[in-house]
Amino acid sequence: MTSAGYDVPSPSGTPSMSRIRQLPALLLACAALLHPDADAAPRLLHSEPSQFGTILVFEENGERCMNFNSMVDFGRQTCMSLEQPGALVFSYTRMMIGALYARPEPKTILIVGLGGATLQKTLAGLLPGASIDTVEIDPAVGTVAREYFGYQPGPTQRLFIEDGRAYIERAHRAGLQYDMVMLDAFDVDYIPEHLMTLEFLQHVKGILAPGGIVVANTFTNSQLYQRESATYAAVFGAFFNLKEGNRVIIAANGALPDDETLARNSKALAGKLKPLGIDREHTLDQFVRIDGVGSDIAVLKD
């Protein structure tokens, strides 16, 4: 399964690709922030069969959420405020949209992972002239996003039902380029292994336009944290490391913007992003630049 994903990290431990696949989803899929009245019973709206499990759409605590198989664990694929549908409920989505500080006017955007289309809808509202392509492996997720979360595919909001890596490799061979690539794909445990490796990220870099950026949602306490860092550094060099609940990695095909550029862009975007729940100063403080990773840390490979 490859769908837009979770908001709170997995526990730390030995960095092993195989062991992370064995950890219970309950430990790895902690997503939404807990509400004071979190013991209120969720109300099921819809159940959608999928080859990867049953997709559940439900409402609780003033939010409409999507999850696989259960309404009562801590994981959430998507949550949308019923009172303020445009607000960004999860901190990782605020950080990912905050990546506009690094590339404020992307014309072409690729998103791997759909979920409830939070990123897609938000970017369409902020950048009405942009072309947004999404790759989602599960057609049932597309159905739920359209019917329950307001996702509207069209000429500038295209949806491709296939594996994210297969699409990116084909786009690379075809010479397609994007100004921004967002990686927000999770299965029931974590990011699928083939979307984490050196070889995959080389294809991602290959479809980035000069100065284009990749924005990746990962877990702060992933067992693979250091190896993920080493892998991004091996392909892109320096990267920004944003952390709040999750970690969001921002890397570029070229030099990263300096602090002055980030500040200037954030000021220009403040009026548009504040209604979404993005605080300018807080988000700027999250842009921590990582210039190097220890050479003794093994990168992730196919």
Question: CB within 8 A of 138, min separation 6: which ones?
Answer: 1, 2, 3, 50, 51, 52, 161
Distance of CA 69 to the CA centre of its chain: 21
- Asked whether the beta carbons of 115 and 180 are under 8 A apart, the reply is no
- Asked whether the beta carbons of 129 and 153 are under 8 A apart, the reply is no
Pairing of strands 63-68, 53-60: antiparallel
Fill in the DSSP letter of residue 223.
Answer: T
- Token pair of 4 as six digits: 């837009």
Please indicate whether residue 138 is annotated as part of the active site: no
- Asked whether the beta carbons of 266 and 258 are under 8 A apart, the reply is no
Burial class (CB in 10 A: 0-12, 13-18, 19+), 206: middle
The residue annotated as part of the active site, out of 184, 258, 285, 296, is 184
**Half-sphere exposure at residue 185, Cβ-oriented, CA atoms within 13 angstroms:** 23
164-174 helix and 198-206 helix, angle to the nearest 10 degrees: 50
Q: Which residues are catalytic?
A: 184
